[in-house]
Structures are given as C-alpha cells and as structure tokens.
Structure 1
Amino acid sequence: MMRPINNPILRGFNPDPSIIRVGEDYYIATSTFEWFPGVQIHHSRDLVHWKLIAHPLNRTSQLNMIGNPASGGVWAPCLSWDGGLFYLIYTDVKTLYTPAKDTHNYLVTSRDIAGEWSDPVYLNSSGFDPSLFHDDDGRKWLVNMVTDHRRGKNRFGGILLQEYSVESQRLIGPVYNIFHGTALGSTEGPHLYKRNGYYYLITAEGGTSLGHAVTMARSTSITGPYEVDPENPVLTSREDPAWPLQKAGHADLVETQTGEWYMVHLCGRPIPSMGRYPLGRETAIQKMVWTPDHWLRLQSGGKKPQLQVPAPGLPEFLHPSETVRDDFDTPELNIHFQTLRIPFTEDIGSLTERPGYLRLKGRESLSSRHRQSLVARRQQAFSYTSSTCVEFEPENYKQMAGLICLYDHENFYYLLISRDSEKGGKYLTIWSCDNNVFDYPARQDVCIESWRRCYLKVEVNYHRMRFFYAPDGEHWTPIGPVLDASRLSDGYCREGKFTGAFVGLCCQDLNGSGKHADFDYFEYLERESGTPE
C-alpha cells in the first residue's frame, strides 16, 4: 500500500509556501516575518519527510528589520531555479495597519541552496507577494499584487506583471495589470506557470484568515486576458468552519520527476472549540490532477484540503532524527533558533565566551522593536515541554533573564529572574503581556537569593500553560496559576497579526550595561499525544 503524506508537512508557523524541484530534490521556502534570519528552506526527496536546512537571508546587507512592526518583515518568499542558479524573491514589509504600506521587494541568488546568497537586487515597492517566472523563451517576469490606498478603492488592486532583466539586474519595460481577481477579493500570492500552451496564474484570495482560498486563471498570452477557472476556488475550507485544516490558501505547484502534480498551501489548525491558532499558519500539501479541458483539481475531489494524501511514486527518503536537547556545545546556534529583527552577534550573545553555555547579554526590553537579546524556536505541537538552566546574578530590578513563551512584543509570558531588595534579593516571578497590557500573574514571587543555578520549565497542553522551577532539574515546583496559552495566537493578538507562538531564552538590561546570563541547555520536547482539557 502506498504510504500517505500526513498534513501539515511543515508544522508551526511556516506560511506562504513556495516549492521547487531540482532533479530529485524538493525545496520549500516559507515566510519568517520579523524573525531573523529571514526565510526558512526545507528539503525533501519524497514529499513526505522534510528537514529545515537553511535560512538564506542571514546578514543585514540582505535584511535590515530594525524597527519593523510585529508581523512585518519577510512576507511570501518565492523560490525558483533556472540555469544552475537559485533565485529567491521576498518582500520586506516596513509598515502595517495603514492604508498606504511600505513593501520593498528584493531578489537574491545562489548556486548552492544552503550556501551564501548574494546581496539583494532591489525590484520595486508597489505591493507584496512577488514571484519570478522563467519563461521557456529565456525571458523572466515578475508578478506581484499591487496595493491601492485611495479611499473607496479595493486595497488589493490586482496582479502586476513586468519583465526582469538579468543583464541589467532591474525591472524593464511596461507594467501590466493582468488580473483584477474574482468576487472573493483580496487578490494576492500570485504564481505563474506554463503548460500545454497556457499561462496559468494561481492567486490567493479571500484574505489569509477563514475566508482564504486558492483561485486559478489562464491565458494564451502572458499579458492576458486571463480566463477565470469556472469552478473557482480550486482549494478552500471557507465553507466548513469545523474542517480540521482551516485558512487554506496561498498555494504553489510542483511536478514530480514521474509526472505527478502536487500543490503546497498554507493552512491553520485551531485549538478545538476555541478558534485560536498558537501554531500559526502552517504548510500542507495536496495531490492534484489535470482535467481533460486543462484545469487543475484536487485528486481527492471537492475543494477541501485533506489531512492525508497519497505520496508520489518516489523512494522513501528519511532525514536523521533531531535531538530534543541543545547543550550549546557548538559555536553556532541551532538552526531552529531565531532572533527578533537582528542577527545573533557578539553584541547580544555568544556560544564561545563560556564554552558549553549560551551567554545572552542584556539589551532592550521585550517591548522593543530594535535590539532585543532573545533566541527562540517555533512551537510546532499543541503540547510540549521546554526547560533550561540559567546562571544569572542581577544587580538590580532593571536586569532580567529567563524562559519566555511569546507571540510578539505585545504578547508573551515570561518566567524571569531579577533582583529587588524588598523581595529578599534575587527572586523568580512571571511577567505577562496581553495585547500590551502588563501583569504579574504569579502574585507571590519566589526568593532564590542563595541559588547559583536555577532550572526553569514550561508545560503547554493546548490552551493550558504552567511554569515550574527547581534547584536541581529534578524536584520541580509550580509557580503561578495555570495560564491561557491560547492568547499567543493569531486568532487573539490584536490588529490581525499572523505569525505563531515561540518558546525561548532572553535577557534584558534596562540600565544599558549589558549584564549577561548563561544558559546551560535548552530542551524542547513535543507531546503530540496530549488532548485538550
């Protein structure tokens, strides 16, 4: 029996997938928003098993996000390959929540998918979700949605097309608005393909929440006019709010070396009966078939995304298993760790100053959109346990370090160590931020004045979160109440944000003196067998 592919294939905050095949290798690029390094690239050879292998935007000459808003930064990367060269197109979003947006589009290239990528070529700022199409006549074309801030206008103003010159490294020639979308509206996420004499245009419509959908149109000329698929949308879960994969949309296509077709798309899995999505928007895959009249349909029939789909007729390809514990014994951060807006440099941390430890040097507050000393990884399961051991000797209340669960700078839970003479010296407490409203839910702080090392732990089970502490890593004591983990969700955070929950380590020194904390290890253990309580 053919083994199935279980969806989602990229769990936990991996939206806007762009997929390519190069020989036997498949790669998917996904959005990272304000998290650095920019863009996640996963690899597979069977479309079943995937491994994170690269973050191509890993220096500030490619991506400078200081000051970027939450849920700004890198949107909808497009990965392509032509003539032995990988191309990556991406948007750096500088403003949100206003009619006029600043959305700068760039191109980087590399001969090696996991190697160093070039400095960026600036393309345009007319909209977001740019995509590069390599035509069979050698010409290259950029498509992106265009924003329109004028009062009374559709702020999604259609899909623009313009030629890209490799020789001059810029866009050239006229700009065409090739598609104004369907009645679903919010037309974005364009990708172009060519098959059997037709240019096919896939778009995302209906908004990136519960109304999301994949629509298609085609033309015999790249500049149009485009004929809309009479059975649009091709893929959506908008008509069934109880379906396990919600928000289905923003898709891309790939053909296997054996002639099978698959569509990757973003989706979301809510906490049952709560409508909140701490795992953010994830990536799923569907098997597709072409009809006799050359339209694309789900192999399963209908329009809804499936939790299981048939795998292609390719040899199974397994990746080495990953450890759940990082003892910080290497000079580089684990690939699953990211920082907020800025790279991990000696200014904020080090893995070599004290070998075997992650040293974080206190920087700005958790509310900062500039220079935080924070490293974290995605929450990729509804139930998990994470722990660490920290050595930290704060000198006053402005110095803090510990274990954090966060969505963004306005939504987090923080189990922290600090110092206050009124609380007996060094102490442990919980600090929370709920859409920029701050609180101390523990009510009773814990004095740890005599402790050189302190072990910290968090247990998350769907919407329930609980912090613990210990002097030895074995005898754990709860601190504070059971907290609402579902608040760290794009179904809860204000202003329509759309990333996902993270768990990690951080250090602040609001004096500006850079007081450091040393973390001995970080463990992240998923417990997918958990059930909502």
Structure 2
Amino acid sequence: MHMITNPILRGFNPDPSILRVEEDYYIATSTFEWFPGVQIHHSRDLVNWRLLTHPLQRREQLNMSGNPNSGGVWAPHLSFDGSLYYLVYTNVRSLTGVYKDTPNYVVTAKHITGPWSDPVYLNSSGFDPSLFHDQDGKKWLVNMVWDHRKGRNPFKGIVLQEYSVQEQRLVGPIQTIFEGTSLGCTEGPHIYRIENYYYLLVAEGGTGYEHAVTLARSRSLTGPYEVDPLNPVLTSSHHESLPLQKAGHGSLVQTSTGEWYMAHLCARPLPGRKQCHLGRETAIQRCHWTDDGWLRVADPQHLPQEKVAGPALPLAPVEKEPALDHFDHPALSPSFSTLREPADPSWLSLEERPGWLRLRGRESLNSWHAQSLTAKRLASFTCEVETRLQFEPKSFQQMAGLIAYYNTKNYYYVHVTREEAAGKCLHLISVVQGQYDELTEPMPLHGTEPVYLKVCFHYDVLQFYASVDGSHWSSIGPALDVGCLSDEAATTFQNGVFTDWGFTGTFVGVCAQDLSGQRLHADFDYFSLKE
C-alpha cells in the first residue's frame, strides 16, 4: 500500500477544493492577492501532485488592483457537471473593520487547462461560495453570509440559491439552510448528495488553531440539517504537539476504486512557536462512512495524520520542478507569482535581454497597485535562495534585489541602490508590522559587474549573503527572525477590531522599485531555490 505524506501541497496553498474527473484528481486552492488567481494541482494517485494551471490569468477575470493585504481570491470551489468545469471564487476587496466587500463570480471551461471564460457575477452577501450540481440537473450556489452589525454573530449562516445556466445569474429565493454549531465562524460550505442524504461540510472555529471540519445532513436540500453527534469530524484543536495544526476547511472526493478522502487546510508552526511562516497548506486524510451514515477520518480521535494510507491506485510519479531557473523560456515558470496583477511586458520581460529576467522599477513595496515583484512560495523550513543581479541605479529612489516577503507590512529586503556618499551600494532593510528599519549601513559596490545575492532559511532564522564572484560569500546584516513573516505576526487586533489579517505565507523573490518614475530596469540572470 502506498503512503501519502502530508502536507501534499506545501507552502501557501489553503482552502482546498478537491475534484475527481474519471482517473484525474484536481485540487484548487486560494491565492489571495497573488496573481495569477487560483492554483490547480493535479494527481492520478493522491500521492504525487504537480502544479497544473491557473484558471484566472487575465485582468478581466480578476481585477485586484488596490486590494488590501490578504484580500483577493478566497476559497475557490472547483466542480464538473459532465461537460463543463465550473470555478466559483470570491475577490475580496476589503476585509478589516466590521465590513467586508466580497463579490463572488463563476468562470467555466471545457478543459481543466482552459481557456476559462470571463467571469459571471453572482452575489456579494458573503464569501466561500461553492456550486452544487444536483441529480435533477439544477445548480445551487452555497455561501456564508457576513453580518456587520454590532452585537450580532458576523458568521450569520449558510445560504442557498439556484443558479440559472441559461440566464447566467442567481434566481429564486435565498434560503438559509444552516446556522452553524457552537464552534462558531461557520464558513467554507460544500454540499454532497450521497445515497439518500444531502451532506453539508463546513469549516468552523476560525482559520487558526481552533479550526475544524463540521458535518451535517438532511434528506432535503433546504434542510433542516442534523449535526453529526460526534462533531467535529476533523480538528487539531487542543493538540499542540501535532505537527499538522489548524486542520479544517475540508473537501471530499471518492476515488475510482470507491475509497473516500478529505482534502483539508493545515499549517506547520515553527518548532516551539505558534507562528506559521509557510502559511496554510493542504493535507489529505483517508475517510470511511459508518453504518449509520456519518463520515469518519482514519484517526479515532478525529485528528490529522502526517502519514495516510493511499488508495488502491498505481503510483503516478511526477517530475519535480528544477531548483534552478535560468530564465531561458519565453514565459515565467507557473510557480512564480506576481502581486495583484498579471505579469506584463511593460514591466516584466524575458525577451529584452535573452536569458535574463528584466524588471522595470515601478511603485514602492507599500503599493497595492503596481509592484514590479515576482516570487515563489516558501515550502520548507530549510532552504537556500540565490540570484545574480545587474543593476545601475542613479539615485536612492531606485532599488532592486532579493526579498523575503509576507505582505506590504512584513518583509526583509537586500537590494542594490545608490547613496550620495557611498555611491552604488548594497543595503538591507526590514519592515515588520509596518515599521521600517535599516539593518545595515550602505556597503559600497564597485564597477558594473553583477552581484550575487542569497538568503538561507533555517527554521526560525534567515540570513542574507552577497558575493561578487558567486563562490566567496559574505553575510549581510544580522540573522533575522523568520517568525516576523508568519500569519500570526501579520495579524493585528486593536480596540476590538482586526486591523490586519495574515492569510497567506512567505514568498521569496526578486523585485525592483523606481520611486522617481523613470522605470529604470534591473536584470536577473537566474533564480535558484534549493530545499
């Protein structure tokens, strides 16, 4: 029997929606403010997974300009009705304070790799939409409702409304079908019809350390729904020694061999610290149905396991992405992401200087609009990231370099710039919870030769390095606290209101800024990420 090692999707890959179409398995995950929108991974054995595609690749499908940190794409749901793939998703435009602006959309495609359609607007009453295809051919949108009023439960419940394919809009009455359990924070609804029951799987407890998967069932789609007497069906709450924390937000799949699995969100804290800089990841648990019709994971205490028995399917290994990218292809590797907007030749080019990635400096690292930054997810506690940069700044307002980035308020950045006294120089800065600090004095660089930059992660510390020849390295600045790039460090709470949320994870990448507006370019020869 093959074993599944969790998490199956490491690094920032939260809110999984799992789907089987014949012998193929797909998982869609949230991407928040990172573009392109929604990651879809593929497997044929549930053991080996590879990044297959991003369905939201055009600005017309996903306009995130001005979206706040941890806004953007929340909890997509992937489904198939026998002829078309459907993807529903939220583009969160605001989220702090009492209000949330949460327009929901649906896109479709004949093939999983696209092309995907332009979006159809659905509603804005809440987030985490999913689409249920009933046996009679009707389609139903399910989402949670957000209640901003003082003294109310903001997670007001789960609502249902019919979706008309012909009219491309929601029709008929909006019905509340579930108000949640005492765990609270009822969200992430998915409906399944299995034999004579409609099963409603929801996320509860909040997406932190008390996260959980809850199950309810009804013989009628509109309810009333009976709650599983042994809820929650999965959680890691109050089990701090477990390597997989924050277990929740589940999604079910039945294999072609008749076996059941639940994909779910999880997180791996830094050892001895409740800080998850890798973000929320995706794991999978083996399940079964009891004689009285309730779902149970393999662990009798309903806890997530690191090692899970795989299905009776032949292994289907996948080729791993090379650690070294020489930028020799006409397009960026799919594992690179950009902030809030697609990579555009006006600021990112692989053709202007063949074999190099050229970035034209634009707005600052504070910007929610036009950042010239591309990065990869950090997926391991220990790794080494390296690049080679050629850049000739003319002023202190022009910068380019290597960045360890969580969001606009939390990052570490080693970069080349120009100072009046030092001339062309290397500089290390930090921004932690919005507070800017200069961690080194400007270090002069002589000549126009490229400089090598590197950052090494080892659990809760990271260290930057620089070299002029790629062989002899000098440390740049002090060892830095990786925990400052965690979900927890990015989440702040003041006067009874959350002022910032941390829902993403650490990225490592390259970027350029030109605050003078001249769009001076920086060239990167390669990007290497070795675990």
TM-score, normalised by the number of residues in structure 1:
0.97
Partner Cα separation in structure 1 for residue 268 and residue 457 of structure 2: 16
Pick from 446, 450, 454 the counterpart of residue 447 of structure 2: 450
Q: Which runs of 4+ in 1 moved over 3 A?
A: none
Aligned residue pairs total 523
The residue aligned with 1:342 is 341
The residue aligned with 1:295 is 294
The residue aligned with 1:40 is 39
**Cα root mean square deviation, aligned:** 0.7
Deviations 1:266-292 (A, max 9, x none): 001000111110110000000000000
Q: Structure 2: where are the runs of 5+ without partners?
A: 492-499
| 1:504-523 equivalences in 2 (<5 Å) | 504-523=509-528
Deviations 1:406-449 (A, max 9, x none): 100110000000011211x100010110011000112x321103
SS, match of residue 8 in structure 2: coil
Tell me the amino acid that sits aligned with residue 440 of structure 1.
E
User: Which is further off, 448-457 or 369-378?
Assistant: 448-457
| 1:139-158 equivalences in 2 (<5 Å) | 139-158=138-157
Partner Cα separation in structure 2 for residue 40 and residue 51 of structure 1: 10
1:346 CA drift (Å): 1.4
Q: Do 2:287 and 2:295's aligned partners in 1 also have CA atoms closer than 8 Å?
A: yes
Q: Does 1:503 align with 2:508?
A: yes
Deviations 1:206-230 (A, max 9, x none): 0000110000000000001101111
Tell me the amino acid that sits aligned with residue 485 of structure 2.
L
Partner Cα separation in structure 1 for residue 240 and residue 148 of structure 2: 31
Partner Cα separation in structure 2 for residue 347 and residue 69 of structure 1: 24
The residue aligned with 1:529 is none
Partner Cα separation in structure 1 for residue 269 and residue 320 of structure 2: 27
Partner Cα separation in structure 2 for residue 144 and residue 379 of structure 1: 31
1:172 CA drift (Å): 0.4
SS, match of residue 483 in structure 1: strand
Deviations 1:125-159 (A, max 9, x none): 00000000000110000100000011111000000
The residue aligned with 2:439 is 441
| 1:418-437 equivalences in 2 (<5 Å) | 418-423=417-422, 425-437=423-435
Q: Structure 1: where are the runs of 5+ without partners?
A: 527-533
SS, match of residue 491 in structure 1: helix
SS, match of residue 117 in structure 1: coil
1:303 CA drift (Å): 0.9
The residue aligned with 1:271 is 270
The residue aligned with 1:530 is none
Partner Cα separation in structure 2 for residue 448 and residue 519 of structure 1: 17
SS, match of residue 376 in structure 2: strand
Q: Does 1:374 align with 2:373?
A: yes
Q: Does 1:314 align with 2:313?
A: yes
1:479 CA drift (Å): 1.1
Identity %: 58
User: Which is further off, 112-121 or 286-295?
Assistant: 112-121
Q: Do 2:142 and 2:190's aligned partners in 1 also have CA atoms closer than 8 Å?
A: yes
Partner Cα separation in structure 2 for residue 168 and residue 276 of structure 1: 46
SS, match of residue 475 in structure 1: coil
Pick from 473, 478, 494 the counterpart of residue 476 of structure 1: 473
Q: Do 2:392 and 2:448's aligned partners in 1 also have CA atoms closer than 8 Å?
A: no
SS, match of residue 422 in structure 1: coil
1:486 CA drift (Å): 1.5
User: Which is further off, 400-409 or 314-323?
Assistant: 314-323
SS, match of residue 488 in structure 2: coil
Tell me the amino acid that sits aligned with residue 509 of structure 1.
D
Tell me the amino acid that sits aligned with residue 515 of structure 1.
L
Partner Cα separation in structure 2 for residue 482 and residue 150 of structure 1: 45
Q: Do 2:190 and 2:202's aligned partners in 1 also have CA atoms closer than 8 Å?
A: yes
| 1:62-461 equivalences in 2 (<5 Å) | 62-423=61-422, 425-442=423-440, 444-461=441-458
1:239 CA drift (Å): 2.1
1:368 CA drift (Å): 0.5
Q: Do 2:69 and 2:501's aligned partners in 1 also have CA atoms closer than 8 Å?
A: no
